[in-house]
Amino acid sequence: MTSPIRVETGTDPALAVVTVDHPPLNLYDRELHTALTEVVTQLEAERPRGALFRAEGKVVSGGVNVRDSFLPIAQNGDVEAGTRYFAELVELGERVHRLPFPTVFAAHGLTLTWAFELALACDLIVAAESASFGLIEATVGLTPAMGGTQRLAERCGQGRAKYFVMTAGRFGAAEMERWGAVDRVVPDDELDGSARTLAAELAAGPTVAHAATKEILASLADGGLDTANARTAGIAGKLFATADLRGAMDSFVEKGHGRAVFHGR
């Protein structure tokens, strides 16, 4: 059986391109859940210098296959099974969020439920002008399961996160950019190229320093400004032992700004 997700390294082995291809609508079901879990495990083990998440088809995802994922649990009123499944989803989102390298998500068409939650777990979201987003779990009496609510609140505030989730509406890319939920909006025909270029640029950069940036921001989310301040010196100080920093300093002295080549070490 063909996996609903493939991982390619393309011409640059430093960048992993993760493509969801589960037609017709890339709905989240047990097969996709298993595949995504396996891909995240692969990324954790192989540790590329960057990853791009994207999807094939007219939409990123039309949402969840309710019959496959939630209906049996709901029909049985099985709180323990529901709690276990949500715990798996939250952990999966957190694992993506904590990957120690830059992650970019490319959104086109509908990007609903799990797909938007996965996007929010990534570092940067690039959206096509025609893309639209929604966490529509309320329409079936649920709330988002992969950490999307809280990550959306981190990006644009609790009020907007409540409005977004409780109304179960669909919101366009331009509005999401104004809110701060989406980082960049590009013309539809430029999405794939723009997202790949951004992800490749990040992967070619000082990825150990990028990992430090992510760790500091995680400290801010964990314990606020005081915690982040307390941990910053220890996190950033380790960069002085990296070959990338030494090479970039030498390059700066010899050639000037912006000419360093980084190797992720």
pLDDT digits (tens, 9 = 90+) for 113-172: 999 999 999 999 999 999 999 999 999 999 999 999 999 999 999 999 999 999 999 999
Provide mean pLDDT across the span 185-213: 95
Tokens of 45: 């083990």
258: alpha, beta or left, given left = phi > 0 and alpha = psi -120 to 50?
A: left
8 three-class SS = strand
CB 186 within 8 A of CB 128: yes
Between 73 and 184, residue with greater pLDDT? 184
Strands 171-172 and 132-134: antiparallel
Q: What is the pLDDT of residue 258?
A: 80
Provide mean pLDDT across the span 171-183: 98
Largest CA distance in the chain: 69
In the block, tokens 């701060």 appear at 180
Checking if the pLDDT of 9 tops 80, the result is: yes
Provide mean pLDDT across the span 188-196: 98
The band of 75, judged by pLDDT with boundaries at 50, 70 and 90, is confident
CB atoms inside a 10 Å sphere around CB 137? 23
∠ CA(178), CA(179), CA(180), 5° rounding? Answer: 90
Checking if the pLDDT of 1 tops 70, the result is: no
Instruction: Cite the active site residues.
Output: 117, 137
CB atoms inside a 10 Å sphere around CB 25? 17
CB atoms inside a 10 Å sphere around CB 24? 9
The share of the chain scoring above pLDDT 90, in percent, equals 78
pLDDT digits (tens, 9 = 90+) for 218-263: 998 888 899 999 999 999 899 889 999 888 888 888 887 788 889 8
Tokens of 114: 């799990």
The Cα 130–Cα 209 span in angstroms is: 34
The Cα 83–Cα 62 span in angstroms is: 24
pLDDT digits (tens, 9 = 90+) for 33-62: 999 999 999 999 999 999 999 999 999 999
- Mean pLDDT check: name the lowest of 21-25, 79-83, 124-128, 130-134: 79-83
